[in-house]
């Protein structure tokens, strides 16, 4: 590991030195203010010292850019073909048919499992075999026990032989009702001011990649004019990664080093329809970092905030994260990432019931811009109840 120290009059100046000498893979370890010395110190300004390290495991950028450009080209071709196909069909009829097929498949799957599964009576929580199967599957998905019981309450006396379809339908619809209708990013530019969409969340949840996927959706799918501002100057590689995405997508990008720079950057984007703000990942145990984030968010008048959470994080830790972010922002929507990295989806239901906040997008891989969609509550309900189809 290579460690170096750089000094300058401002953080911006030091970061430019680091980027020029070490490239975009440098990681900031620490920074401190340098106070002037000597008899003339009263007439001199303080400086800044930044300590960085260079990770030897960095990947060649050119290969990354080539792969990303190929994916973007492939996505655009697929997108055009999809538009042609969608114009030939009635969306309303198709959606209705899909819902009926989903429900029929779920009923068939549950019925087949009930027939094939035998359990001892003294280990069962419910005398109704269908409810017991549902309960077992909710527990396997790490749904909170009390929430699972709430979903299944008052159903144990229903005759499972004569009312299997009704029973499956009731539980299925209850979960969908609990999850609520997911909300995507709204475009409501008024009085010449663009909407600012801020992404917040802890470190390691894939926030930067998620932002790139969302930006691609609005540029390629919706043909919107987009500006990007990043305040994540703690990770030089993250800034360079966003710059690469922005360059390929044709989006503008600006970097800010303090909350005071936010308003001028937003003003420079006044002709845009949407402005996406990437914030630095914050540990929910670091009070000082949270004060910086709170100061940044307070400077936004017209904003929509998305809290990015990983499904691979344990529920107990997720609750700690949510409770900490709730101290600095009250109105937010939830994006879940890393659906492909966990077998249990119960946190989706648990977090929804704990926060009462709208769900939004979900990601399930690293590919930009493919691996993201508005959360499909019908599919999530099926998976929670024991359907294993992808």
The boundaries of the domain holding residue 77 are: 59-89
Q: How many CB atoms lie within 10 A of CB 371?
A: 17
Position 382 in a domain = no
Q: Over the stretch 303-319, which tens digit does the pLDDT of each residue have? A: 899 999 999 999 999 99
Q: Do 232 and 362 sit in the same domain of this protein?
A: yes
279 with 361, same domain?
Answer: yes
| CATH code at position 356 | 3.40.50.300
Give every residue of the chain whose pLDDT is below 70, as ranges: 1-2, 36-45, 55-93, 108, 110-123, 160-162, 189-192, 234, 282-286, 387-390
- Determine, yes or no, domain membership for 383: no
Q: What is the pTM of this model?
A: 0.71
189 and 335 fall within a common domain: yes
Residue 380 belongs to some domain of the structure:
no
Q: What is the pLDDT of residue 281?
A: 77
Q: 28 and 68 share a domain?
A: no
29 and 169 share one domain: no
* 388 lies in some domain: no
> In terms of domains, do 323 and 196 share one?
yes
Residue 389 lies in a domain: no
Q: Are residues 189 and 227 in the same domain?
A: yes
User: Is 390 among the domain residues?
Assistant: no
Task: Report the pLDDT value the prediction gives residue 181, as an integer from 0 to 100.
Answer: 95
The model's pLDDT over 239-248, given as tens digits with 9 standing for 90+, comes to: 788 888 888 8
Whether residue 379 is contained in a domain is answered as: no
Distance, in Å, from the CA atom of 333 to the CA atom of 183, rounded to the nearest integer, reads 8
Is 207 within a domain? Answer: yes
Task: Give yes or no: residues 216 and 315 share one domain.
Answer: yes
In the prediction, which pLDDT does 121 show?
A: 47
Q: So what's the pLDDT on residue 84? A: 66
**How many domains does the chain contain in total?**
4
CA angle 45, 234, 257 (to 5 degrees): 50
């Amino acid at each position: 590991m290579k460690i170096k120290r750089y000094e300058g009059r401002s953080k911006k100046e030091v970061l430019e030195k680091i980027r020029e000498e070490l490239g975009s893979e440098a990681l900031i370890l620490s920074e401190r203010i340098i106070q002037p010395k000597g008899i003339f110190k009263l007439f001199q300004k303080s400086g800044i010292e930044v300590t960085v390290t260079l990770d030897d495991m960095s990947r060649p950028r050119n290969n990354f850019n080539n792969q990303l450009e190929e994916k973007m080209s492939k996505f655009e071709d697929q997108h055009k073909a999809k538009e042609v196909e969608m114009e030939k069909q009635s969306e309303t009829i198709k959606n209705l048919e899909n819902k009926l097929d989903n429900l029929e498949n779920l009923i068939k799957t549950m019925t087949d499992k009930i027939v094939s599964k035998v359990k001892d009576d003294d280990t069962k929580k419910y005398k109704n075999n269908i409810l017991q199967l549902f309960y077992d599957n909710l527990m396997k998905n790490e749904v909170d026990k009390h929430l699972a019981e709430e979903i299944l309450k008052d159903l144990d006396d229903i005759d499972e032989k004569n009312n299997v379809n009704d029973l499956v339908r009731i539980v299925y619809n209850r979960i969908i009702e609990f999850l609520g209708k997911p909300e995507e990013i709204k475009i409501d530019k008024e009085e010449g001011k663009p909407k600012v969409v801020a992404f917040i969340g802890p470190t390691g949840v894939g926030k930067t990649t998620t932002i790139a996927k969302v930006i691609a959706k609005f540029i390629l799918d919706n043909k919107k004019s987009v500006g990007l501002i990043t305040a994540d100057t703690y990770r030089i590689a993250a800034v360079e990664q966003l710059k690469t995405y922005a360059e390929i997508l044709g989006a503008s990008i600006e970097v800010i080093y303090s909350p005071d720079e936010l308003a001028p950057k937003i003003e420079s984007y006044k002709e845009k329809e949407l402005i996406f703000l990437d914030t630095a990942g914050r540990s929910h145990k670091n009070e000082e970092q949270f004060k910086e984030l709170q100061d940044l968010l307070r400077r936004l008048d017209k904003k929509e905030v998305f809290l990015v959470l990983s499904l691979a994080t344990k529920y107990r830790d997720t609750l700690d994260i949510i409770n900490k972010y709730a101290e600095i922002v009250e109105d937010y929507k939830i994006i879940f990432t890393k659906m492909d990295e966990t077998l249990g989806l119960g946190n989706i239901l648990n977090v929804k019931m704990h926060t009462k906040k709208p769900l939004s997008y979900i990601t399930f891989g690293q590919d930009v811009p493919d691996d993201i969609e508005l959360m499909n509550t019908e599919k999530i309900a099926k998976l929670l109840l024991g359907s294993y189809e992808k």
